[in-house]
Each structure stands twice: as structure tokens, then as C-alpha cells.
Amino acid sequence: MELIRKYFPELTEDQLSKFEKLEELYKDWNLKINVVSRKDIDEIYLRHVIHSLGIAKVQKFNPGSKILDVGTGGGFPGIPLAIMFPESTFHLVDSIGKKIKVVDEVSEGLGLENVTSFNQRVEELNDNYDFIVSRAVAIMPTFVRWVKGKIAKDSNHDRRNGILYLKGGDLSEELKDYRTAEIFELSEFYEEDFFDTKKVVYLPMKYKG
């Protein structure tokens, strides 16, 4: 929790309470359904929560925004972002049912009313979103193909609608065909060594009706 307070001092008491409760819920559910490694669960704020909130350092979601989290796993980055932006709606999708079970239980335990989950492939969704977020579930060309046609027509932010993707390492080859992509180094926001190679990739996308 020290990291949460350190990097997000503007949080309300309600948000801080939810972030504090999050660790207990994940540790409890991880004993029943293993969705986070043992090492990661012991450092859940560093490796999952703060990492997920790297997206919030790059983009603030306006009230009424619709955000899709693809391949959410146990709920990252979607659940931390849903706590951070309670007036935005978050749709979390994963093809593995047991992971969505954890998402549902943690969301309920935290009292999150702005989270909806789907146990299906993202290609099967029929909805449009302001932003699509994810955490390294596939290389960018594959991911772009998965989410094609899922971007809303009208933008509610200064930044155009598109993808906000948490990735690590050298992305030059993966992004060579995406000239409009912007890369934000998380080491510019966080000082811990864990973030030295971590990035947020923003890729604007056109609406396709």
C-alpha cells in the first residue's frame, strides 16, 4: 500500500480502502484458483496493481468512458483501473472461465459497480469502446487483429480512441508497422527497478462501422 500512496496521493479514502482490501481478496482466491504466481502475489502492489496503473499515468479516463480489458486474467489491468476511475465502465474479457470467476469474486468483494466480465473470446464481443487496454497477451499485430472493429466512433478525450498496451522489452520490431504508436517508459513515472523495461504503448485506432 505504500506504493499506492506514494504514486497516487490524490486517491480518496474509499479508493484507498478498496486498494487495501484487494490484496486480501487476491491472496484468498489465489489459494482456491491459482491465477497469480506465488512470487507475484507476495508483491501484488508492485507487480500487478502499480503496473496496471501505469496506464493511468499516461491516460486519465473521463466520466462515462467505456474501457475494454482484453485477456484480463485475474483482473489486471482492469480492476485497479476501475478503482481509479469509478465513473468509467470497464468490461473485462478472458477466454478462461476460472480467471473470470476470480474477477467476479474480487469485483464483488470490493463493491465495484463499474466492472462487467465476459468469459469469451474478444472477437465474439459486439460493442465499441473508447480505449482497449491489456497486458502483454499477444504481439501487437495479433492484438490489433483481435480488437478490430471494437473502437468507438466519437472520442471523449484529447487523445484519440485506441489501444493502451502494457509491454516490456525491445518493441522496435513488433511496432515497426505502426508509425502512429507512442511509447511511454514506466521508469519515468516509477523509480523501482521492476519498471526499468516496462512500457505503455498507445496506438490510435480508427472506427470501422
3 state SS of 7:
helix
Calpha distance 203→151 (Å, rounded): 12
- CA nearest neighbour of 50 among 97, 108, 6: 6
C-alpha cell at 130: 473508447
Q: Which residues of 84-119 are buried (b: 16+ CB within 10 A; e: fewer)?
A: bbeebbbbbbbeeeebbbbbbbbbebbebebbbbbb
Is residue 19 annotated as involved in ligand binding?
no
C-alpha cell at 175: 511496432
C-alpha cell at 155: 472520442
Is residue 135 annotated as involved in ligand binding?
yes
Strands of the sheet containing 89-94, edge to edge, are 115-119, 89-94, 66-70, 131-135, 162-168, 198-204, 182-185
Is residue 109 annotated as involved in ligand binding?
no
Q: Known binding site: residues?
A: 71, 76, 122-123, 135
Binding-site residues for S-adenosyl-L-methionine sit at 71, 76, 122-123, 135
